[in-house]
A and B are shown apart, each in its own frame.
Chain A
Amino acid sequence: MDNILLQGQNLVREYGTTIITRALDDVSVQLHDKEFASIIGQSGSGKSTLLNMLGALDRPTRGSLLFQNKNLSQMNDLELAEFRNRNIGFIFQFHHLLPEFSALENVLLPTWIESGVADRKKENRAKELLALVGLENRMKNMANNLSGGQQQRVSIARALINDPNLVLADEPTGNLDSDSTDQVYELLRNINRDLGMSFLIVTHDRHIAEKSDRVIEMKDGRIVNDYNTSEKLPQELWECLAPHNCKLMASR
């Protein structure tokens, strides 16, 4: 975990022209190769903004972003799109599969975007990945004919198809039941271990945060805490993470 994969420096993101809302306030953060990190924080704390920025979906108002020493702020929209396609896998809370396509086709979408056409080799890879997420029997199913957990597993396979260096997940288990949540979490963890890609997960769920290598805690657009979970005793860690879960429970 020594090599720096992604480095954000003094990132500021402001919205609006007359009334300026600062969603990110001077955030500096580094992500390492093969790291499994989670971002926690209340709603509106800037978690998703940071995630989108690190995934090159959004540009910082100020500050710089280096990915493997390439400066993302100097890329144009076209280069950023290609960059996302090659290097970043996205997993969203509400699965966001395309209902017009089957599970297999959904997994293949990033490869189509990359090359413009279908590719046999990639199709085999997609089948392997679907097998990896335990859906080898559901490949031909249309996205709508899958359960929530299954859909999320398809979108995990889709995030992996172009062998990205970094997988970003925004509340990947946010609307799954606890069994599915455990399955999905285990899956992500195994992929991280076996395939070696870095994961950054925005979560409300302290069970997931607890099992990450690293926890980044955000509040009001700033990082207020950033530590490796191995540095803390289990009880201590649980306490640290507690407010977020409680807050969430209360608000539901």
Chain B
Amino acid sequence: MKFELKMALRFMASGKSQTIFIIVGIAVGVAVQIFLGSLTNSLQDSLVDETIGNSSHITIRNIEDTVSLAISQTTGEDLVFRGNQPLFQKNLDNWALLVEEIAKEESVTAISPTLQGTALVKSSGRDRSVQIKGVVLEDADRIYDISSRMVLGLPVAEGNTILIGATLAQDLSLTEGDSLNVLLPNGSSVRLIIGGIYDLQNEAANGSLLFMDLRRAQKLFNTGDTVSSIETQITDPFEADVIASQWKQSLGNVKVEEWMELNQQLLSALSSQSSSSYTIQFFVILSITLGIASVLAVSVIQKSKEIGILKAMGATKKTASQIFILQGFLLGMAGSIAGIGLGILLLTGFNSAEGLSFSITYEWRNILLLAVIATSAGAIASVIPARRSANLNPMEAIKNG
């Protein structure tokens, strides 16, 4: 074994309680970091997944998608009405080309051309306003995951067969196989058959979405071979802005909306959550570093006589400083290893607790990164004590008395 390492180990062993205290201290710090880091990440993932897991990440529309008129009506002093009135909607007629272009991007996981329109559903004397989504079910499934979340019937949307949500079905007392009247904005009405009922675990979708075949929808709304939007999902939702701006360039005259734009509040909440988590982690590392530094600073003073003897016997400055750098490194490493164990224990405990809406997952990459940071912090913390040890005057240390 290298002499410096042997000295470092013996010095640590000789101050056993000091060594154990600081290792436990580092371990608690590392464990908190692992727990907090994993908690923040999992919470963020779960929130993002809840928000956009089953919705379009990037949506492409006609550049003149909806032209609306801002109107306000007043009688004297009182505001009676103010709002936007949609005048007309323009669809994408070159959508097949756009789909082809989009498909070239590797990170795209789903492309669903959609024709969306509003309608009124009437059944047993009650009515509900709904959004009709004309889709190719196979494509829409990749975003909305309908097929695996059917509560009744089969995931089939062809011809007059449609799929409705559980809430809508309940509200209108409808079930699989029933037919319902759909009243379109242009005044015409059509009779459709419920092929199945889904539960997308989202009140808005369950209450007001209605999936039908794209061709049928095009005929219904009399739009020709056009779609109102192309909905897409990508591998990493947080790259949506980058990809969206690429598409703005490459796709030309279209409107590209990405979820981040539409969820600024969520994103700023998430980013402030991450930055507060990073801040806490930074200060934990700082206190670990200071803890190690102070233990080693005391140790250099405690061992000054020994260092002096070693120097008198020919130990170099390098040796004298390495002994303490190694101690810092070993303390950081031992603390990290104990901290990983403790952190995973905490996570397991948290995950096994009941009544949780999500579970914390951890990534070994992140944990190892934290361990590497804590270990390097140990080595860095030892620099000042090591320098003091290197510059210790042997004559002072071995002076009689």
Task: Show the binding face of A for B, using Cβ within 8 Å.
Answer: 48, 52, 55, 57-58, 77-78, 81-86, 90, 92-94, 96, 98-101, 109-110, 112-114, 116-118, 158, 170-171, 174
> Which residues of the partner chain B approach A158 to less than 8 Å between Cβ atoms?
313
**CA of A110 to CA of B319 in the docked complex: distance in angstroms?**
13
Tell me which of A84, A96, A116, A118 contacts B398 (CB under 8 A).
Answer: A96
**At the interface, yes or no: B190 with Cβ under 8 Å from chain A?**
no
| Given known contacts A48-B400, A100-B10, A117 and B315 CB-to-CB distance under 8 angstroms | no
Given contact pairs A83-B314, A98-B10, A100-B10, a sample of 19 additional A-B residue pairs in the complex whose CB atoms are under 8 Å apart:
A48-B399, A48-B400, A57-B312, A57-B394, A57-B395, A77-B317, A81-B314, A86-B314, A96-B309, A98-B306, A98-B310, A112-B6, A113-B3, A113-B310, A113-B313, A116-B2, A116-B4, A117-B3, A174-B400
Determine whether the beta carbon of B313 is less than 8 Å from that of A85: yes
Tell me which of B2, B11, B394 contacts A100 (CB under 8 A).
Answer: B11
- Fill in one digit per residue for B290-332: 1 if any A CB lies within 8 Å of its CB, else 0: 0000000000000001101111111111010000000000000
> Which residues of the partner chain A approach B309 to less than 8 Å between Cβ atoms?
90, 92, 96, 98
**CA of A78 to CA of B320 in the docked complex: distance in angstroms?**
12
Closest B residue to A118 by CB, please name it. Answer: B1
> Which residues of the partner chain B approach A92 to less than 8 Å between Cβ atoms?
309, 398, 400
Closest B residue to A110 by CB, please name it. Answer: B313
Task: Show the binding face of B for A, using Cβ within 8 Å.
Answer: 1-4, 6, 10-11, 13-14, 305-306, 308-317, 319, 394-395, 398-401
**CA of A83 to CA of B312 in the docked complex: distance in angstroms?**
10
Closest A residue to B398 by CB, please name it. Answer: A92
User: By CB atoms of chain B within 10 A, which of A55, A100, A170 has the most?
Assistant: A100
Question: What DSSP secondary structure best describes chain B's contact surface?
Answer: helix
**CA of A198 to CA of B310 in the docked complex: distance in angstroms?**
22
Tell me which of A94, A110, A118 contacts B314 (CB under 8 A).
Answer: A110
Please give the distance in Å from A54's CB to the nearest CB on chain B.
13
> Which residues of the partner chain B approach A109 to less than 8 Å between Cβ atoms?
310, 313
> Which residues of the partner chain B approach A96 to less than 8 Å between Cβ atoms?
305, 308-309, 398
| Given known contacts A99-B14, A100-B11, A112-B6, A84 and B312 CB-to-CB distance under 8 angstroms | yes
**CA of A41 to CA of B278 in the docked complex: distance in angstroms?**
65
Closest B residue to A82 by CB, please name it. Answer: B314
Please give the distance in Å from B306's CB to the nearest CB on chain A.
5
Q: Which 3 A-B residue pairs are closest in the complex by CB-CB distance?
A: A85-B314, A100-B10, A112-B3
